[in-house]
Chain A
């Protein structure tokens, strides 16, 4: 307890160093800017600026990336509320009530409440992180390769099956990601795998190229000529953003509930942000006395999901930093950035890189304050940025992608990789496969293989070792339960569907289709 508070104090010292503060501010600013742009989310924002961090010191690099992350999250909410455009899937649910509020002329209030909700939720998530991480670390020190493999397996399985859409497709995509992670020279034997005689491929697939291909180019391919521009001439001033006392009171409990839901889901590895916000929204509507207001500008429907997504974001950092297991694709990217910096996330991180860990935590608070301050004068600018037509936006973004990928190694080969992954990603999306698990698999792949090999080396090839060690057995049991539960739900759904089909009925699938309409 005291240790945590001391650490936090130290962290503020790190985060408030002018140099670090500057990068944090830069990250928040750029993240907010990119997040506002139509069709760009946290993933593309982080991967575009990732090359820039390669030459930086690890602490400012991570502070900047984290700043980009929550900056773009907030920027996404602006687009969702003012233009009904979810530039980032988790904000799809914010559109449901945020946009009607804008149409009623209360867009400013919705933005203000979003800001308050995200600040409140982030603060709560950070507090949880401060006190939970050291505890988790104590457990994690008992982990050997066997335990690490089992918990990674659990993380991958959860990421694949609980995100959205068909679990089988999620598993397939995760395995594709793992296979992409295999490409390159095998550390143990020196054999070049899946390099097909291309010398550049013996040195792993470039993380930035993969991420920008899947979340940049593939998205452009999917939405070119399809993104309808919804012109809007409304003006939002800061004065409009201050909610009244009654509105604050109305939003307070939804905010608290959203925060708790987000915290709960953040602690579960693999549950994506989209599902979290949808559950927060559905819960709020269920317990509301006036559910018919939802979808027509209910303040609760904005406050709760936004709070959920922000607290989940913060709590997500716990497994990423202390166990080295990212909860979703964004965390996988940040984990990748840490690995590139030569920092191995895991139980040792807090003691070995105390400046990084506590600095990051403190910078969350600093960054969230910066975000609020930044949006006071800038909100007018963001509204202008929102109106940049897609047809100008994507060619420029494409150039920034190309030059950013080039700068990772000063080589044009990686730009080719972007194109390949962009096309592959667009095909997968067209076939209704989720692409985010690919990134998760790619980042974890080498770690999974290494620990699997080591665990079996230690057990002399006995596969049962994963069930014999108690901690590992616990994770394995959860894995099996997860698979059984998915099979059960899948079977039940198809049986029910068929029964209804025989009767000539259609499912009342409003709820279901919403969940899948990411």
Chain B
């Protein structure tokens, strides 16, 4: 089975992505005043960049059309578990940091992200997270006196 994004078509996707990003920059940049060449407004530079980016994106996609399709597909399967856990752990740090304080946030980011690795067990992640909480208390709270409440209620 072929993957959605593989070696032979990934330049299409890459080029298209750049084209859309460029287009987005142009559309958003148009909402700021353009000014003239001698007196540029805030919109001029972003619009110019957007045009260049869109052109580069188009060129990448067109080149992919003509490029040789060579070699077997070596794109690795996406690592959903790792992605999910790492993303969740950062979100947890932000949310818990805001409503719970430094200690739960620290515990959460290490614990959840450690679970993203298949070789880590529940127990090893727990031990690692507790160890980091201790380090965090000593280094950041006690030694560096960081402005971050240990526990908080929002």
Residues of A within 8 A of B (CB): 166, 168-169, 171-172, 175-176, 178-179, 182, 186, 188-189, 191, 193-194, 217, 220-221, 224-226, 389-392, 394-396, 398-399, 402-403, 406-407, 410, 412, 415-416, 418-419, 422-423, 426-427, 430-433, 449, 452-453, 456-457, 459-463, 494, 497-498, 501, 506
Chain B residue contacts of A194, Cβ below 8 A = 25, 28, 46
Contacts A220-B82, A391-B120, A501-B68 supplied; 9 other A-B pairs, CB < 8 Å: A175-B53, A179-B21, A193-B42, A415-B90, A433-B14, A449-B45, A453-B45, A461-B39, A497-B68
Q: Are A226 and B79 in contact, with the CB atoms below 8 A? A: yes
Q: Are A406 and B148 in contact, with the CB atoms below 8 A? A: yes
Q: Are B52 and A175 in contact, with the CB atoms below 8 A? A: yes
A322 to B69, CA, bound (A): 45
Q: Are A460 and B38 in contact, with the CB atoms below 8 A? A: yes
Tell me which of A193, A418, A497 contacts B90 (CB under 8 A).
A418
Q: Are A395 and B109 in contact, with the CB atoms below 8 A? A: yes
Question: Using a Cβ cutoff of 8 Å, how many contacts connect chains A and B?
Answer: 186
Chain A residue contacts of B83, Cβ below 8 A = 221, 224, 426
Chain B residue contacts of A416, Cβ below 8 A = 90, 94
A463 to B41, CA, bound (A): 16
A494 to B53, CA, bound (A): 23
Number of B residues contacting the other chain (C-beta, 8 Å)?
A: 75
Residues of B within 8 A of A (CB): 5, 10-11, 13-14, 17-18, 21-22, 25, 28-29, 32-33, 36-43, 45-46, 49-50, 52-53, 56-57, 59-60, 63, 66-68, 70, 75-76, 78-79, 81-83, 86-87, 89-91, 93-94, 97-98, 105-106, 109-111, 113-114, 116-120, 124-125, 128-129, 132, 136, 140, 146-148
Q: Are A431 and B10 in contact, with the CB atoms below 8 A? A: yes
Q: Are B63 and A168 in contact, with the CB atoms below 8 A? A: yes
Q: Are B128 and A398 in contact, with the CB atoms below 8 A? A: no
Minimal beta-carbon separation of B59 from chain A (angstroms): 5
Chain B residue contacts of A462, Cβ below 8 A = 37
5 A-B pairs whose Cβ atoms sit less than 8 Å apart in the complex? A193-B43, A399-B109, A403-B106, A403-B136, A452-B45
With A172-B56, A217-B90, A419-B87 as given contacts, are A494 and B136 in contact (CB-CB < 8 Å)?
no
